């Protein structure tokens, strides 16, 4: 989920895999957070299938020493990207040992610091390759049994793939020994280091489930990991193949690049999904939880041979996550999510000409259209045959690499379904077949109503009013009612006010939130009713409503700010940041305005995660609150490892530089910045 996967199957490695089969690796590594470097000893065992004179191991910007083949030194060289072992290798089993050092520029990330007691170190191999921190294989078709020994400060938890065999303490350091029993692709290798607390559950099948959180978030355990055991038990039963590894862990890490990542036996996910019971309503981890777990079968157990078959990973994970949510939330929810994705796919197909079975397809195609393809197939051949085919497919190709044809072969054994036409429509065409999709959606009663609502989009309100009124008072799924509210957005208030009142009366958070987001100009006669939204248990709704009320009713700003002065919101402080921005922009509300501005500036600093910083900076800039500290924090964003955040910083600096006074301020602070920040700002100043 990452949510972009780059496959690399070069001619060189395709040829090497025919001559050499790597079996196991034992890595003994130590990580230095001060220099952000890693060093270690590595021992690979392999079998030479055909004589070969050079063996390559991917190794980005690494230095090597003590390279030995079967305990005897051999010639080697590096080219900045690979370790090349030069020797007349003959058929048979061998081992190679070496020491290495690296200072990863990507893939291993150092967040926070020991000085501020928030240090975390974690890896993200998908899309950027594990070979930046561990000598391994960028080719996903080379599967190896990884065993990792990691040495680090004893005050931290160290997590890696597989079973923790033992850990021993030596002075201030602890040595953690993790073992795998089955092979996997290198991109699934991981390390996570931080100060975590662990809780343990057990699946019905006996698999240990370990759930991690930072100590400060321990009171958010239940809502964050809600339904975790249920999801695990459901997927094992639904897929029909026992979970393929010995343990399953989930670890939220700071400043993670994606929603989550399915490293073998250990999912890492963003702290954005660490929520309390209110945050759960808007930002639940449930879907990502199920998606990454499904990958343990689809992606980790069986891995696509190349990018054109990537849908076998993301399409399956997306679909099985939806099936898991169906088990939790019911059929109406399941179909509403399929409907949402159908709208996105229909719109995207107008400009996206790349089909699913193409390595350059979009994430939307791999994930959502891949999931739709599987739903069409399941409905087409029947649930029983589909489940049997998936089970046979996973068992036959366990711990191997697969193609779409491999999956189709298992379908053919159980059904005469026209896979040629299916593939043309759903995998080889850039179009989205709405007719087939709507036919399947119409099997659900709520979706029958939803499809009727959609047909009325361009009709005058008078022609659909009675239908909308009846639907808002029915027991149809909340997503249908929310879409009705969305259609009312551009209607005159007098014409729609009774329908809006019905929407409020549903007492459904999603429907009421739809109203909060679409009604930005609030008439006085509707103020009191709109104010009730401030009490909804939804941080997202509260943020929308507080801003809209403050904006619409200047004479009541003090009342709104007093009512909400203790709000914090999600773990990204969304409500607190909004409140501070509004408070300092409200004349005569506060006497200590400077302290509030300083708190807001603090949220924009490197002490906080990117999402918090960006939120604070957006409000500061929008309310035209600018000083040297804010400009320095903005420059610092350009050095961040998350490209979206660094782009946000660069784009805003470019805009500010158009103002001559602010340009001079940037020039003034230049010498006070660190070397990397100076480089980034100087480059922008010269554009």
CA–CA gap between residue 492 and residue 120 (Å, rounded): 52
Please tell me the predicted confidence (pLDDT) of residue 649: 97
Query: Which tens digit of pLDDT belongs to each residue from 387-434?
Result: 999 999 999 999 999 999 999 999 999 999 999 999 999 999 999 999
What is the mean predicted confidence (pLDDT) over 474-482? 98
What is the mean predicted confidence (pLDDT) over 91-96? 97
Q: Which residues contact 469 (CB under 8 A, 6 or more apart)?
A: 498, 499, 502
Query: Which tens digit of pLDDT belongs to each residue from 330-370?
Result: 999 999 999 999 999 999 998 988 999 999 999 999 999 99
Q: What is the mean pLDDT of the chain?
A: 95
Please tell me the predicted confidence (pLDDT) of residue 13: 54
Query: Which tens digit of pLDDT belongs to each residue from 168-225?
Result: 999 899 999 999 999 999 999 999 999 999 999 999 999 999 999 999 999 999 999 9
Q: Which residue has the tokens 């065999």?
A: 165
SS3 assignment, position 43 = strand
pLDDT value at 6 more than 50: no
Q: Which residue has the tokens 């801003």?
A: 547
CA–CA gap between residue 569 and residue 573 (Å, rounded): 5
Q: Can you read off the two tokens belonging to residue 448?
A: 């029958």
Q: Which residues contact 644 (CB under 8 A, 6 or more apart)?
A: none
Closest CA to 99 of 75, 68, 57, 77: 68
119-133, 303-317, 537-551: segment of lowest average pLDDT = 119-133
Provide the pLDDT confidence category of residue 564 given band limits of 50, 70 and 90: very high
Query: Which tens digit of pLDDT belongs to each residue from 576-604?
Result: 999 999 999 999 898 889 999 999 999 99
pLDDT value at 128 more than 70: no
> What φ, ψ does residue 169 adopt, rounded to 5°?
-105, 135
Write out the H or E segment, with its range, that includes residue 151: strand 143-153
Provide the pLDDT confidence category of residue 5 given band limits of 50, 70 and 90: very low
Strands 72-73 and 108-111 turn out to be unpaired
Please tell me the predicted confidence (pLDDT) of residue 2: 42
Please tell me the predicted confidence (pLDDT) of residue 14: 61
Query: Which tens digit of pLDDT belongs to each residue from 486-502?
Result: 999 999 999 999 999 99
Please tell me the predicted confidence (pLDDT) of residue 344: 96
Angstrom CA distances, 548 to 367, 529, 554, 568, stand at: 35, 13, 11, 18
What is the mean predicted confidence (pLDDT) over 272-286? 97
Query: Where do the DSSP E strands lie in 49-142?
Result: 52-58, 62-69, 72-73, 76-78, 82-89, 92-102, 108-111, 120-123
Question: Mapped to the 3 state alphabet, what secondary structure does 299-356 carry?
Answer: CCCEEECCHHHCHHHHHHHHHHHHHHHHHHHCHHHHHHHHHHHHHHHHHHCCCCCCCC
């Amino acid at each position: 989920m990452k949510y972009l996967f780059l496959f690399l199957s070069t001619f060189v490695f395709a040829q090497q895999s025919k001559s050499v089969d790597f079996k196991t690796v034992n890595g003994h590594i130590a990580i230095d957070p001060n220099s952000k470097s890693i060093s270690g000893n590595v021992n690979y065992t392999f079998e030479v299938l055909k004589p070969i004179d050079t063996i390559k191991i991917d190794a980005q910007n690494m230095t090597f020493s003590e390279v030995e083949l079967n305990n005897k030194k051999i010639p080697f060289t590096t080219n900045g990207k690979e370790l090349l072992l030069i020797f007349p290798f003959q058929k048979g089993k061998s081992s190679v040992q070496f020491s290495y050092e690296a200072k990863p520029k990507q893939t291993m990330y150092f967040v926070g610091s020991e000085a501020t007691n928030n240090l975390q170190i974690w890896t993200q191999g998908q899309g950027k390759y594990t070979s930046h921190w561990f000598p391994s294989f960028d080719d996903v078709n080379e599967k190896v049994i990884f065993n990792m020994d990691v040495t680090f400060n004893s005050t931290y938890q160290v997590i890696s793939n597989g079973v923790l065999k033992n850990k021993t303490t030596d002075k201030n350091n602890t040595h953690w020994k993790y073992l795998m029993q089955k092979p996997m692709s290198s991109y699934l290798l991981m390390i996570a280091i931080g100060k975590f607390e662990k809780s343990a559950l057990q699946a019905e099948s006996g698999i240990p489930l370990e759930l991690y959180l930072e100590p400060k978030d321990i009171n958010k355990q239940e809502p964050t990991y809600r339904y975790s055991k249920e999801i695990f038990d459901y997927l094992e039963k639904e897929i029909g193949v026992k979970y393929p590894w010995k343990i399953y862990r989930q670890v939220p890490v700071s400043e993670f690049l994606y929603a989550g990542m399915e490293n073998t036996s250990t999912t890492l996910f963003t702290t954005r999904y660490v929520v309390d019971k209110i945050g759960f309503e808007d930002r639940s981890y449930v879907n990502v939880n199920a998606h990454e777990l499904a990958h343990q079968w689809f992606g980790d157990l069986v891995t696509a041979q190349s990018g054109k078959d990537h849908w076998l990973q993301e399409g399956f994970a997306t679909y099985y996550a939806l099936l898991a949510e169906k088990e939790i939330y019911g059929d109406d929810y399941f179909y509403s999510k399929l409907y949402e994705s159908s709208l996105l796919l229909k719109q995207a197909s107008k400009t996206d000409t790349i089909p699913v079975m193409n390595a350059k397809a979009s994430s939307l195609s791999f994930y959502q259209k891949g999931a739709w393809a599987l739903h069409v197939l399941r409905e087409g051949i029947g649930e029983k045959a589909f489940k049997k085919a998936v089970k046979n497919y996973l068992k036959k190709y366990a711990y191997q690499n697969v193609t779409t044809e491999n999956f189709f072969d298992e379908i053919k054994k159980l059904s005469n379904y026209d896979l040629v036409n299916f593939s043309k429509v759903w995998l080889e065409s850039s179009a989205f077949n709405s007719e087939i999709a709507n036919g399947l959606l119409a099997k659900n009663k709520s979706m029958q109503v939803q499809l009727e609502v959609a047909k009325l989009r361009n009709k005058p309100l008078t022609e659909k009013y009675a239908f909308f009124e009846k639907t808002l008072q029915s027991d149809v799924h909340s997503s249908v009612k929310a879409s009705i509210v969305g259609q009312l957005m551009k209607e005159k208030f007098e014409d729609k006010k009774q329908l809006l009142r019905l929407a409020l009366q549903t007492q459904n958070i999603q429907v009421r939130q739809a109203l909060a987001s679409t009604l930005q100009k609030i008439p006085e006669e509707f103020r009191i009713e709109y104010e009730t939204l401030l009490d909804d248990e939804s941080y997202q709704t509260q943020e929308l409503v507080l801003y809209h009320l403050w904006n619409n009713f200047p004479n009541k700003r003090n009342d709104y700010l007093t009512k909400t002065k203790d709000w914090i919101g999600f773990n990204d402080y969304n409500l607190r940041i909004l409140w501070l921005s509004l408070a300092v922009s409200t004349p005569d509300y506060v006497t200590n305005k400077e302290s509030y501005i300083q708190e807001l500036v603090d949220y924009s600093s490197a002490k906080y995660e990117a999402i918090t910083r960006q939120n604070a900076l957006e409000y500061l800039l929008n309310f035209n609150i600018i000083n040297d500290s804010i400009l320095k924090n903005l420059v610092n964003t350009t050095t961040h490892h998350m490209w979206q955040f660094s782009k946000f910083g660069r784009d805003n600096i470019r805009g500010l530089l158009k103002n001559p006074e602010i340009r001079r301020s940037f020039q003034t602070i230049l010498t006070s910045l660190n070397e990397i920040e100076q480089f980034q700002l100087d480059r922008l100043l010269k554009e």
